[in-house]
Amino acid sequence: MIVGVLVTGDTAVRAAHSLSAHPTVDDVVVVGPARSKSFRVVATAEGCDLLVGTGPDAPGLARGHGVRLVWDGESTEEGVIVAGASPAGLALALASREPDPRLVAVAHPDYDEGSDHVVRFPEPVGRGTVSDTTYSQRRVAMAKSPNRFAACLAVGAGRSVTIVDDAAFLTGVALAAGVDVADDKPMMVFDDALTYLDAATAMGLVMADDR
């Protein structure tokens, strides 16, 4: 599989590095105009099986290239084959593996301060005030991390499952891992949570639980 990276921000660049060592990916290219010391830069996405990108402009860019997109947005709009490849999508993937998820929460330094209630995330994130919101029409509690770390948390009836890592690294892996979910029809990452989480852990994220 050849993956093209759209120049849409630092997260896409970090995803490229995670993809370059992933066993299901044969080659990673940067779709220019751009400069890169690590990857081959190409003018078009011709020959790419998938594109990865972030932000509101990525689907339009992918449609222009005629190649399916793995995206961090909340919906599988036209041109997007996998959506939700983000920290919130990662938290929802954790929750989808639990029989009775009672809380889905994510903390990230880029999020706004919450105002609804307090959630205890794993250290070094710790306690955070979350806002109860929705992501792709699913309930997620979001908090601003007090430091450079991000945390995903899913609390079920019998255990809590968490992922904690450097926020920039976690966000890049959350995007990159979406390539393994891509199939014949558009879907969210948590629609095939096991495949998505397996890819994320293969790229370096570690899941922990407290049965």
Q: How far apart are CA 13 and CA 7, in angstroms?
A: 8
My answer on whether 65 and 139 are in the same domain is no
Which residue type, as a one-letter code, is found at position 179?
Answer: V
Residues 91 and 194 in one domain: no
User: Residue 6 above 80 pLDDT?
Assistant: yes
- Is 64 buried (19+), middle (13-18) or exposed (0-12) by CB count in 10 A? exposed
pLDDT tens profile 99-143: 889 999 999 999 999 999 999 999 999 999 999 999 999 999 999
Residue 136's pLDDT is 94
16 plus 69 within the same structural domain:
yes
Same domain, 130 and 201: no
Q: Which of 38-42, 88-92, 155-159 has the lowest mean pLDDT?
A: 155-159
Q: Is residue 180 domain-shared with residue 76, that is, in the same domain? A: yes
Summarised one tens digit per residue, pLDDT across range 62-100 is 999 999 999 999 999 999 999 999 999 999 999 999 888
Residues 123 and 187 placed together within one structural domain of the fold: no
In the numeric block, the tokens 């995330």 are attached to 121
In this structure, the answer to whether residues 175 and 142 fall within a common structural domain is: no
Phi and psi dihedrals of 108, rounded to 5?
-155, 140
pLDDT attached to residue 211 = 60
Task: Select the more confidently predicted residue: 129 or 210.
Answer: 129
Average pLDDT, the chain: 95
Q: Are residue 112 and residue 100 in the same domain, yes or no?
A: yes
Query: What is the CATH classification number for the domain harbouring 19?
Result: 3.40.50.720
CA 31 to chain centre: 20
What's the length of the chain? 211
Query: For the residues 173-189, what does the mean pLDDT come to?
Result: 97
The answer to whether residues 21 and 75 belong to one domain is: yes
Burial of 201 (0-12, 13-18, 19+ CB in 10 A): middle
Backbone angles phi, psi at 135, to 5 degrees: -135, 120
Which pLDDT value is given to residue 34?
84
- Domain boundary residue among 166, 182, 201? 166
The string over 88-99, giving b where at least 16 C-beta atoms fall within 10 Å of a residue's C-beta and e elsewhere, is: bbbbbbbbbebe
pLDDT at 156 (0 to 100): 87
Same domain (yes/no): 185, 161: no
Is the same domain home to 65 and 160?
no
Do 96 and 73 fall within a single domain?
no
Question: What's the pLDDT score for residue 32?
Answer: 83
Domain count, the chain: 2
> Which residue range forms the structural domain that includes residue 66?
2-86+170-209
